[in-house]
Structure 1
C-alpha cells in the first residue's frame, strides 16, 4: 500500500511538472501592439458616480493629520466630474508605441520608444504607487531626443516603460509571489525579448526595490542601476525609529536632519496607507473599487502625491495630470491589484528597504537625491548600503515623483549618472 501511495504521488508530481512545462511552452511570447481604448460607457458611469458622491463632514483640524482635507479634494472632484477629458490622456499614451506581452502568465503593458540616434543606451524605468507610466511620459523626449533638450546625440536612450503587474493596462496576477524579485525577473525577460543584450534600469518609489532586485540578481546584460528613492536607512537607525526613540549619538548633521524628518513623518502617520495596503489590501479594495472619490482620496493620502498636486510653488499647474493617473486606476479596476504589492513586500513601504535588498549588489549604482523626497538620504548611508556606488548627487528641486515634477532635471541626472558607461564602451 505504501509503495502504491508513493508511486501515485510520484506520478501526480510528474503530471504537475509536465503541465507546468506545457503551460510555459504554450505561453504566448509574442510582442503585440496595444492602444488604449476605454469604452464611452465607462466614462459616463464614472461621471455618474462622481455626481452621486456622498461627502463626509469637514475634518476637525486645520491640517492633513486626519487625511486629505475636504476643501482641497472637493474642487478637484467637481472639475473631474464636469470638465476633465480622459480622451486627452488616452491620446498621450496612444501617441507613443505601446505593446503587450505575456510573461510568467501575466500580460505586461509597456511603452517602447527607440531613439533615432545610433548607439542609444537601452533603459527600463519603473514607476511606483500611486503613480503609473503617466509619471514617466515627460521624460520620453529629453531621454530619447537629447539634442532637442540641451543634451548631445551621444546622450540618447532607448526607453522601455512597463506598467507594473496589477497596475494600469498590465494584467492582474492571480497568484501570490509578485514581490520585487519576481518583477525584476519579469523585466529581465522583457528586455531579452526586445533583443537588448546590454541595458540599464532606473526606478523611484516601487521602482527602487525593483531596480535594487535587478541589481542584486544581475541578469545577463544589466550594466548599472539608478534610483531616486534610495531606501537606505541603516538597521540600527530603523530600529530606533520603530521604537519611537531619540536620535542616536554620533550622527552627522545631515544624518541627524534625516533622522528628525523620518521621526516626524512616523509621528504624523504619513505611511498609514502603506500599513493598510500591506495588511488588508482586499478589505480597502471594496471601497476603492466602488467609489471614484474614495479612490482619489486614498491616492491623495500619499504625502508625495498630495504635495505635488497642491504645490504652492506652481499654482497654474493643471489638475489634469493627477486626474489622468487617478482615472487610469479607476478605468482599469486596479485599485486592489495595485495595492497588493505592499502585501507582497511584507507590509513595508518601498521607502524602507532592508539591508538584504542592497548588500549583495555588486553592479554599479547611481543615486540622485531630490529635496522633496520622503527623506533626503545622506551620502554616508548610501555608501554603507551600496559597495559600488559610482554616482551620488543632491539636486535643488523636485520631489518624490521626480520624473513627473522635473523631467528636464531628472533626464539630465540620468545622462550624468550613466555617462561613464558610454565612455567605457
Structure 2
C-alpha cells in the first residue's frame, strides 16, 4: 500500500520542545575547551537559544512536505517513509536509484540533491541524466516504523529495499549511499545482483578483515591501521551505540539539548568544514536534522542498529561485490581506502576524489555529489530496460 504522507507536528509538541530547551541545565566547561572534549557548550548554548526562540519548524516542515513523500507498507506490515521523486520529462525510461542514508541523519541527507538528480537540465546538466530518486528512511529512523522486535541490520534493510523497489515498480535499478546506507547498498548488490545494475558508495565504513595480513598490500595495511586509530580516537559513540544504546537513549530522548550535542558534534567532526560547522550548514539546516530525531523519537532505535550490525558474522564482511561498483572518496570523510582495498572488496570500475565534501557530501556539496552519480551511472542507463 502506498499513501501520500505530509506530517504535521502538533502545537503541544513544539511547546514542550521549547519549554525543555529553555529549561536546559548546562554543565560547566573548562576554559578554552572548545570542541576538544566533545561538544562545545558555548556554541550549543547559542544553537539551543535559537532552537527555542528563532527556529521556525513549521516553515521547515512545509518545505520538506513539498517533496513527494509517501508511506509504503510492505508485505510484513512494516511501514516505510519514502521520498519518491520522478524524473522531470525524461526522454526515455528514467534511471531509478535508491539512496541510502546513515547516522545521525535520515532522508534529510538527500533533500538538497533530489532536484539536481530528477531535473539535471534545470541545474546545468544534461536532461538525459535524469533519475527517478527513491529515498527511504531506514526502519527506526525518521518517519519509518520502528522494528517491533530486535533491531534490523543492514542485510535485512537491503532485503526491505529490494521489496520496496518491487512495490514501486522497478525490476532493475541502481543503488547508492554512504555510512550505514553504503552498507545497505553493498548488501543489495550482494544479495540481489540480478536487480542492481550498479552500486555507488561514498565510503566503505570501518573495514573488517579476517584474512592473513601478509596478503595485504602495504597501502592496505596502512589503511587498516589508520581506521583502527580513528576508531580509538573517535569511535566512543559507536561503542556506546553497539553495547549500551539504551543508556544513552534515556538522556538523549529526554533532553533536546543533549540530543543537539550528540548530533551537532558529529556533523562538525565528519564534515569538510575546517572546524567551522556553520561554514557548511546553516542553523536551520542543523536543527531540521535534529528536530526530525526529536519529533519522531527515533534516537534510541537508530542507535540500536549499531548493535545489530555489530553481530553480523565476519563471513558476510568478506564477501566481494561483483556488481559494477563506484566510489567517490570525499576529502573530509572519516577514512579513505586505497584503490587496492577497493579492488579487493568490489568489482571497482570508478574511483574519484572530489575537491570538497565530507561524510554528508550530498548535503554539504549537492552539485558535486549529483555530478558523481550522473557520471558513474551513465554507462548503465540502458541496462535498466532489460
TM-score, normalised with respect to structure 2: 0.91
Deviation for aligned residue 1:199? 0.7
In structure 2, the CA distance between the partners of 1:255 and 1:219, relative to structure 1 (3 Å rule), is closer
In structure 2, the CA distance between the partners of 1:139 and 1:250, relative to structure 1 (3 Å rule), is closer
1:401 aligns with 2:365: no
Deviation for aligned residue 1:347? 6.7
In structure 2, the CA distance between the partners of 1:266 and 1:231, relative to structure 1 (3 Å rule), is closer
Query: In structure 2, which of residues 328, 332, 335 is the aligned counterpart of residue 368 of structure 1?
Result: 328
Which residues of structure 1 form unaligned runs of 5+?
Answer: 1-29, 241-247
Query: In structure 2, which of residues 76, 86, 100 is the aligned counterpart of residue 114 of structure 1?
Result: 86
Specify the structure having the higher radius of gyration (Cα): 1
Deviation for aligned residue 1:238? 11
Query: In structure 2, which of residues 190, 199, 213 is the aligned counterpart of residue 225 of structure 1?
Result: 199
Given that 1:208 and 1:227 are in contact with CA atoms closer than 8 Å, whether structure 2 keeps it comes out as yes
Residues matched between the structures, number: 381
Given that 1:115 and 1:144 are in contact with CA atoms closer than 8 Å, whether structure 2 keeps it comes out as yes
Quote the Cα distance in structure 1 between the aligned partners of 2:194 and 2:369.
Answer: 27
Given that 1:124 and 1:159 are in contact with CA atoms closer than 8 Å, whether structure 2 keeps it comes out as yes
1:94 aligns with 2:74: no
Quote the Cα distance in structure 1 between the aligned partners of 2:226 and 2:42.
Answer: 27
Deviation for aligned residue 1:354? 5.8
Q: 2:82 is paired with a residue of what secondary structure?
A: strand
Deviation for aligned residue 1:400? 0.2
Deviation for aligned residue 1:131? 0.9
Quote the Cα distance in structure 2 between the aligned partners of 1:309 and 1:370.
Answer: 12
Query: In structure 2, which of residues 24, 44, 52 is the aligned counterpart of residue 81 of structure 1?
Result: 52
In structure 2, the CA distance between the partners of 1:174 and 1:238, relative to structure 1 (3 Å rule), is farther
Match of 2:227 in 1: 262
Deviation for aligned residue 1:101? 1.6
1:168 aligns with 2:142: yes
1:37 aligns with 2:4: no
Q: Which stretch of the first structure deviates more once superposed, 224-233 or 88-97? A: 224-233
1:381 aligns with 2:341: yes
**Root mean square deviation, CA, Å:** 2.7
1:421 aligns with 2:385: no
Given that 2:268 and 2:275 are in contact with CA atoms closer than 8 Å, whether structure 1 keeps it comes out as no
Quote the Cα distance in structure 1 between the aligned partners of 2:268 and 2:157.
Answer: 24
User: 1:77-110 deviations in whole A, cap 9, x for unaligned?
Assistant: 1111110011122112210111112223321000
Quote the Cα distance in structure 2 between the aligned partners of 1:343 and 1:64.
Answer: 27
Quote the Cα distance in structure 2 between the aligned partners of 1:237 and 1:108.
Answer: 38
In structure 2, the CA distance between the partners of 1:310 and 1:89, relative to structure 1 (3 Å rule), is farther
Which residues of structure 2 form unaligned runs of 5+?
Answer: none
In structure 2, the CA distance between the partners of 1:249 and 1:308, relative to structure 1 (3 Å rule), is closer
Deviation for aligned residue 1:292? 0.5
Q: What does 1:67-78 align with in structure 2 at a 5 Å threshold? A: 67-78=38-49
In structure 2, the CA distance between the partners of 1:303 and 1:378, relative to structure 1 (3 Å rule), is farther
